[in-house]
């Protein structure tokens, strides 16, 4: 009976419990009040769940007071308590929430709590741009200069980076590069190892206060990259595929028509006939006294364009074969040899466009897939990508496979563990083309023979110099396999301790393997046994770093917020490499680079290179905030590094920052409808730089010199020889850290409810104890010693502005603008002083001496331009004036300081002298001004358009191209080369910008270079994307589908002076990339 009563009791209890469940209804929209389809709704702590319908509505059973977990891809997960009323949930875009949190090193902070200078970049905001590299993501960031050189325009992409100018004159070992941090740990690889699709956010630490937590290596700023992780909700599968084309956008083109090519030879030949006409007194062709062609006007001219001579007379200048055509006669006079392939091709009109053979329309492929998700205990993210890019040059292809696995597990409420493994296998070069030699082949040179086979010498060995420049022929006998395989790993654990204390452990081992296998076949004609064979190089790098971090984060009395962070870290880097160069492999090299042991030992070589370095550090940081109005951060770091001298392996790096959010003050509240956000920041700090050419720079070393022998006579009278070693570098036990201290003053502002936001910053930085080579007296036996000297200052201003210009239901327009100005000055160098003399030669003071040999000058930029100044071109009516300087019309005018010239007793000029006293400062090569402008448009919420522009301004360069040294060692004389197309001075084209062919400056300044303005504006990217309506894609179980198209490097505008010399930023070659892509989310 008791069992029946007990059973009845449990049934009633279960029925009562079930009757407490209610139907919970609600709706979910985004911040624009648009309904969201497919949002995951789950009753917390249960397996009960549902999703929203096409109108964003949902209905789910749950108990009163239940907490619903609401998640959606790309949105911030929310937990909402049900209180009996229908729920109206507004999900915020995930990027909006992440922008409120900034990674600052060994932790993160709310953006509004920052006291240092940090700028955040969100790759998802430029997803339509299809960035190829991390550098593409960062281009346009205020205070960060991302370079774009000729190599960066290739298939691999990339670019150098500098934050707030160049700190030091020392450049080896990436000395001026910013520190890279990946998911909280030092990153020793190159940025190509990181897939832009895997990046969640990038935070750039620019001032000493923000970067001080990494003091030992943070003198050049810090770039912190955080990768994506799984989000609450159902698993998300993301797939992106893009294809594209790469084309030549800019290059120093060759003469593109046979007529232009031949006219260039006419002008080259005729320039030696220029002189003052005895009859007219004018400077003209075929007028040079004593020249054999003075009596043969029009000798080199096209017989179809004769002016002052009859065709018969023109023919009579030379002895011609019977029946020889005028074209053949003319070609012989220009340098073509009779009965050669080139002459035959010219006479038959057969031409070859060698530049066209050097370029192609490259095809690009980029495929990336990822799966991610998170439950209550575990979040995960896995991705795999394949990239294959073809550059516009036919010898430029880049391939990479990249994978990423990231897992975080909450083992208990107080213990978490995680792992992040990044893998890459990439190529690193192909059989390179001698691009200059290949493209300068004559348009009449031979590419293939009559049987369709490539020829080795396009001149067919019929001229005085061999011309082995046919890349298509050469690569038949060459083979190259070269690349890297890398594993970047991070393992971490987090332990929550009492009193709000958190302990975190991170370890980051990294493995890198490099291989280089090269083979030149003995079947290659015109090769020497000692030059051909096999190169095999293998290298391994193993790096690891670890840190232990303790963080106490506590808020008391609701207004006092304190975060205390203590960190200890250690790192070790090791490298081993071996290289074999086997030559004259016998009896056969048929096995290619699989056989090195049969190489001739006397002609072969091998070498090894190993290195080992260690470092450690301690850091303490405290942050305090009162009532979200007053903030202070103070940091102290101590670092040690094995590469510095035994006397100074350690250094201390302090920093501090203060901030005041005055817009939170009571007195400011009446004005917040105008200025919604206002914050003042000031910071000071000292950071270090340890980047060196090698980790043994402070130690003396031994090297084999020229590989020569020394020996002695043995007791038996035999000569015993041995290779000797000699000291190459002087030890410096006092070598220490290079240090940069800086001040940063900033205003963060927002107007009209933050529709207009921005930052205004001013900084002053001073780098002292620069690592540099100091010259030594000859008696020491060494040219220099690496030591700490000098000082370089960088001062600058940065402006960042973000505006929401239009925000309507069907149209949004936002703008991002940034402007950076940097003033770079050398304040001290070696500490050597020299006398200051007045006009009479009297000593009136002293000043620190410049280092002219390296182009370093006190109180001038590191990139200062100091040289002879070209002021124009000597013209036809200035024959006598040009003669004074040993020049002729068409040569450059070079400014001269009369005080340096030689005069006779009567003050008459005897000789014009050119030396350093005639050189002047003409600007700098580094751009002091950088700005970027980006406009984003959204139409009908699904169609987006982005336009990005950036510019470098105020920099210049010296170039000698205008001198038109076209023969250049016999290229035109012996190989009939096709030079770069350009304008040049002739008697019929008296330019004042471009000199004559093979012009030269005055004696002492023969190669005087001309100054060019290198400022430019680049339309860097235009992208458009369209997201298909969700009601369409849900029918095929696709959460989101987007198609996008982009063109990178759409246009560039530069100085007119640079019109013939390619891209103004790269200095020559630049590419344009067209991309079409598809992104699917399941």
Q: Tens digit of pLDDT for each residue in 1029-1055?
A: 888 888 888 888 999 999 999 999 998
Residue 516 to residue 236: CA distance in whole angstroms: 40
82 closest CA partner among 58, 65, 61, 69: 65
pLDDT tens by residue, 308-323: 899 999 999 999 999 8
- What's residue 38's pLDDT? 75
Residue for token digits 């020229």?
Answer: 706
* CATH number, domain containing residue 59: 2.60.40.1120
Residue 639 to residue 650: CA distance in whole angstroms: 5
- What's residue 17's pLDDT? 42
Q: Are strands 21-29 and 87-90 parallel, antiparallel or unpaired?
A: parallel
Q: What percent of the chain has pLDDT over 90?
A: 61
Is a pLDDT exceeding 80 seen at residue 499? yes
Is a pLDDT exceeding 70 seen at residue 74? no
- CB burial class (10 A; 0-12, 13-18, 19+) of residue 452? exposed
Q: In this predicted structure, which of 4-13, 15-24, 411-420 has the lowest mean pLDDT?
A: 4-13
Which pLDDT band, with edges at 50, 70 and 90, does 764 fall under? very high
DSSP single-letter state for residue 694? S
The chain-wide mean pLDDT, for the chain, equals 89
Has residue 71 been placed in a domain?
yes
213 closest CA partner among 582, 654, 836: 654
Q: What percent of the chain has pLDDT over 70?
A: 96
Has residue 141 been placed in a domain?
no
Has residue 497 been placed in a domain?
no
Instruction: State whether residue 208 is helix, strand or coil.
Output: helix
Apex CA 382: angle with CA 376 and CA 386, to 5°? 165
Which pLDDT band, with edges at 50, 70 and 90, does 16 fall under? very low
Three-class SS of 738-776: EEEEEEEEEEEEEECCCCEEEEEEEEEEEEEEEEEEEEC
What is the CA 207 to chain-centroid distance, rounded? 21
Instruction: State whether residue 713 is helix, strand or coil.
Output: strand
Has residue 281 been placed in a domain?
no
pLDDT tens by residue, 221-255: 889 899 998 887 788 999 999 999 999 999 999 99
404 closest CA partner among 529, 171, 238: 238
Residue 260: CA atoms inside 13 Å, Cβ hemisphere, count?
12
Residue for token digits 């900034």?
Answer: 102
491 closest CA partner among 505, 481, 503, 501: 505
Q: In this predicted structure, which of 195-209, 396-410, 850-864 has the lowest mean pLDDT?
A: 195-209
Residue for token digits 């009516």?
Answer: 877
Contact between residue 520 and residue 478 where contact means Cβ atoms under 8 Å apart: yes
Annotate 656-672 with DSSP letters as a single string: EEEEE-GGGSGGGGGGT
Has residue 64 been placed in a domain?
yes
Residue 376 to residue 371: CA distance in whole angstroms: 17
- What's residue 9's pLDDT? 43
CA 297, 300, 305, 308: dihedral to nearest 10 degrees? 0
963's enclosing H/E stretch is none
Please count the other Cβ atoms lying within 10 Å of the Cβ belonging to residue 1036. 9
Which pLDDT band, with edges at 50, 70 and 90, does 743 fall under? very high
Residue 708: CA atoms inside 13 Å, Cβ hemisphere, count?
4
Structure-model confidence comparison of residues 903 and 45, the more confident one:
903
Instruction: State whether residue 779 is helix, strand or coil.
Output: helix
Average pLDDT over residues 659-688: 93
Residue for token digits 């325009």?
Answer: 153
Burial 971-992 (b: 16+ CB within 10 A, else e): bbebbbbbbbebebbbbeebbe
Contact between residue 755 and residue 729 where contact means Cβ atoms under 8 Å apart: no
Instruction: State whether residue 223 is helix, strand or coil.
Output: strand
- What's residue 123's pLDDT? 78
Structure-model confidence comparison of residues 51 and 918, the more confident one:
918
Burial 790-808 (b: 16+ CB within 10 A, else e): bbbbbbbebebbbbbeeee
Residue 537: CA atoms inside 13 Å, Cβ hemisphere, count?
17
Residue 625 to residue 113: CA distance in whole angstroms: 7
Is a pLDDT exceeding 90 seen at residue 93? no
pTM of the predicted model, to two decimals?
0.87
Per 3-state DSSP, what percentage of the chain is helix, strand, and coil (rounded to 5)? 15, 45, 35
For residue 531, give every residue at least 6 positions away whose Cβ sits within 8 Å of its Cβ, in sequence order, or none: 520, 583
pLDDT tens by residue, 447-495: 999 999 999 999 999 998 888 899 999 999 999 999 999 999 999 999 9
Please count the other Cβ atoms lying within 10 Å of the Cβ belonging to residue 137. 23
Q: Domain range holding 58?
A: 16-92
Residue 1022 to residue 935: CA distance in whole angstroms: 10
φ and ψ of 597, to 5 deg: -70, -20
Residue 956 to residue 911: CA distance in whole angstroms: 32
CA distances 714 to 527, 708, 718, 723, Å, are 43, 20, 5, 16
Domains of the chain: total: 1
Residue 179 to residue 865: CA distance in whole angstroms: 29
The DSSP bridge partners found for residue 374 are 232, 379
Average pLDDT over residues 596-606: 90
Has residue 729 been placed in a domain?
no
Cis? peptide before 944, omega within 30° of 0? no
Question: What is the token pair recorded at 333?
Answer: 């006079």
- What's residue 82's pLDDT? 86
Residue 408 to residue 834: CA distance in whole angstroms: 64
- What's residue 215's pLDDT? 65
For residue 470, give every residue at least 6 positions away whose Cβ sits within 8 Å of its Cβ, in sequence order, or none: 438, 441, 447, 454, 455, 456, 457, 458
Annotate 238-250 with DSSP letters as a single string: EEEEEEEEEEEEE
- What's residue 14's pLDDT? 42
Is a pLDDT exceeding 80 seen at residue 130? no
Q: In this predicted structure, which of 8-22, 193-207, 311-325, 810-824 has the lowest mean pLDDT?
A: 8-22
pLDDT tens by residue, 810-820: 899 999 999 99
Has residue 767 been placed in a domain?
no
- What's residue 84's pLDDT? 82
- What's residue 18's pLDDT? 44
Residue 618: CA atoms inside 13 Å, Cβ hemisphere, count?
4
Residue for token digits 């260039």?
Answer: 264
Has residue 40 been placed in a domain?
yes
830 closest CA partner among 867, 785, 799: 785
Residue 187 to residue 913: CA distance in whole angstroms: 54
Average pLDDT over residues 46-72: 84
Annotate 1033-1080 with DSSP letters as a single string: HGGGT-SEEEEEEEEEEEEEEE-GGGTTSS-TTTSS-EEEEEEEEEEE
- What's residue 216's pLDDT? 65
Residue for token digits 């279960």?
Answer: 14
757 closest CA partner among 211, 107, 200, 142: 142
Question: What is the token pair recorded at 10?
Answer: 């449990």
């Amino acid at each position: 009976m008791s069992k029946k009563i007990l059973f009845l009791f449990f049934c009633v209890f279960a029925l009562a419990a079930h009757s407490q469940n209610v139907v919970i209804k609600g709706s979910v929209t985004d911040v624009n009040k648009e309904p969201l389809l497919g949002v995951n709704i789950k009753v917390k702590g249960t397996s009960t769940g549902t999703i929203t319908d096409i109108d964003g509505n949902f209905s789910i059973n749950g108990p009163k007071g239940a907490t619903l977990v609401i998640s959606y891809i790309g949105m911030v997960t929310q937990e909402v308590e049900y209180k009996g009323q229908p729920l109206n949930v507004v999900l915020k875009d995930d990027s909006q929430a992440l922008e409120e949190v900034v990674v600052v090193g060994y932790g993160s902070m709310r953006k509004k709590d920052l006291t240092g200078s940090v700028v955040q970049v969100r790759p998802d905001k430029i997803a339509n741009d299809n960035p190829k590299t991390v550098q593409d993501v960062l281009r346009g960031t205020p205070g960060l200069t991302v370079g774009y050189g000729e190599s960066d325009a290739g298939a691999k992409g990339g670019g150098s980076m500098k934050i707030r100018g160049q700190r030091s004159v020392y450049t080896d070992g990436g000395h001026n590069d910013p520190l890279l941090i990946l998911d909280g740990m030092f990153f020793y690889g190159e940025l190509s190892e990181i897939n832009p699709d895997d990046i969640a956010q990038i935070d750039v630490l620019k001032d000493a206060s923000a970067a001080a937590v990494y003091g030992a290596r943070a003198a050049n700023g810090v770039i912190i990259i955080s990768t994506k992780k799984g989000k609450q909700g159902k698993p998300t599968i993301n797939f992106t595929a893009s294809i594209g084309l790469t084309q030549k956008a800019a290059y120093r083109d060759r003469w593109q028509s046979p007529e232009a090519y031949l006219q260039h030879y006419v002008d080259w030949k005729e320039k030696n006939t220029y002189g003052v006409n005895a009859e007219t007194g004018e400077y003209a062709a075929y007028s040079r006294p004593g020249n054999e062609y003075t009596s043969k006007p029009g000798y080199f001219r096209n017989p179809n364009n004769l002016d002052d001579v009859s065709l018969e007379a023109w023919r009579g200048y030379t002895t011609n074969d019977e029946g020889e055509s005028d074209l053949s006669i003319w070609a012989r006079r220009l340098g073509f040899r009779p009965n050669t392939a080139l002459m035959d091709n010219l006479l038959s009109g057969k031409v070859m466009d060698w530049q066209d053979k050097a370029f192609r329309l490259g095809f690009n492929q980029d495929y990336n897939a990822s799966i991610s998700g998170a439950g209550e205990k575990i979040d995960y993210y896995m991705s795999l990508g394949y990239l294959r890019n073809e550059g516009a040059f036919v010898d430029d292809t880049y391939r990479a496979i990249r994978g990423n696995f990231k897992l975080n597990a909450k083992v208990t409420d107080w213990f978490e563990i995680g792992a992040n493994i990044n893998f890459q296998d990439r190529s690193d070069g192909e059989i390179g083309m001698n691009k200059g030699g290949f493209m300068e082949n004559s348009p009449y040179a031979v590419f293939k023979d009559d049987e369709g086979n490539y020829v080795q010498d396009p001149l067919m060995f019929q001229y005085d110099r061999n011309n082995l420049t046919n890349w298509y022929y050469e690569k038949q006998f060459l083979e190259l396999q070269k690349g890297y395989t890398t594993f970047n790993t991070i393992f971490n654990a987090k332990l929550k301790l009492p009193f709000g204390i958190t302990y975190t452990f991170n370890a980051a081992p990294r493995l890198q393997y490099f291989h280089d296998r090269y083979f030149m076949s003995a079947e290659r004609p015109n090769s020497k046994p000692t030059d051909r064979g096999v190169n095999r190089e293998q290298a391994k790098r193993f790096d690891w770093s670890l840190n232990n971090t303790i963080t106490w984060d506590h808020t008391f009395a609701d207004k006092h917020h304190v975060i205390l962070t203590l960190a200890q870290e250690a790192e070790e880097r090791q490298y081993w490499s071996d290289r074999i160069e086997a030559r004259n492999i016998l009896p056969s090299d048929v096995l290619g680079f699989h056989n090195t042991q049969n190489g001739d030992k006397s002609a072969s070589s091998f070498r090894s290179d190993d290195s080992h370095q260690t470092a450690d550090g301690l850091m303490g940081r405290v942050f305090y905030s009162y009532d979200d109005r007053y903030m202070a951060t103070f940091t102290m770091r101590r670092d040690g590094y094995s590469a510095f001298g035994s006397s100074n392996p350690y250094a201390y790096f302090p920093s501090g920052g203060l901030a005041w959010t005055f817009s939170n003050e009571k007195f400011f509240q009446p004005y917040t409808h105008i200025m919604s956000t206002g914050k003042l920041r000031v910071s000071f700090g000292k950071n270090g730089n340890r980047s060196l050419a090698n980790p043994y720079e402070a130690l003396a070393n031994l090297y084999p010199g020229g590989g020569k022998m020394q020996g002695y006579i043995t007791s038996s009278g035999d000569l015993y020889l041995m290779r000797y070693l000699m000291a190459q570098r002087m030890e410096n036990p006092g070598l220490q850290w290079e240090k940069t201290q800086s001040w940063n003053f900033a205003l963060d502002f927002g107007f009209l409810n933050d529709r207009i936001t921005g930052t205004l910053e001013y900084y002053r930085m001073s780098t002292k104890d620069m690592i540099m080579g100091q010259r030594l007296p000859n008696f020491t036996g060494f040219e220099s010693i690496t030591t700490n000297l000098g000082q370089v200052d960088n001062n600058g201003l940065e402006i960042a502005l973000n505006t929401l210009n239009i925000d309507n239901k069907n149209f949004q327009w936002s703008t991002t603008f940034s402007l950076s100005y940097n003033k770079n000055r050398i304040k001290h160098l070696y500490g050597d002083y020299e006398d200051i003399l007045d006009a009479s030669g009297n000593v009136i003071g002293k000043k620190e001496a410049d280092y002219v040999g390296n182009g370093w000058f006190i109180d001038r930029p590191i990139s200062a331009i100091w040289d002879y100044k070209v002021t124009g071109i000597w013209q036809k009516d200035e024959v006598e004036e040009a003669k004074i300087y040993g020049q002729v019309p068409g040569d450059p005018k070079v400014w001269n300081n009369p005080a340096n010239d030689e005069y006779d007793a009567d003050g008459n000029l005897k000789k014009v002298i050119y030396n350093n006293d005639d050189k002047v400062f003409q600007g700098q090569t580094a751009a002091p001004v950088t700005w970027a402008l980006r406009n984003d448009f959204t139409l009908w919420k699904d169609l987006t358009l982005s336009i990005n522009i950036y510019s470098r301004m105020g920099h210049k360069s010296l170039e000698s191209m205008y001198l038109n040294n076209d023969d250049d060692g016999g290229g035109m004389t012996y190989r009939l080369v096709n030079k770069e197309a350009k304008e040049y001075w002739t008697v019929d084209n008296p330019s004042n910008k471009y000199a004559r062919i093979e012009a030269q400056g005055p004696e002492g300044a023969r190669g005087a270079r001309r100054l060019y303005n290198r400022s430019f504006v680049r339309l860097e990217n235009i992208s458009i994307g369209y997201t298909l309506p969700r009601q369409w894609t849900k029918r095929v179980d696709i959460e989101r589908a987007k198609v996008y198209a982009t063109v990178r490097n759409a246009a560039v505008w530069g100085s007119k002076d640079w019109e013939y010399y390619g891209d103004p930023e790269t200095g020559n070659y630049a590419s344009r990339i067209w991309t079409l892509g598809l992104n699917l989310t399941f």
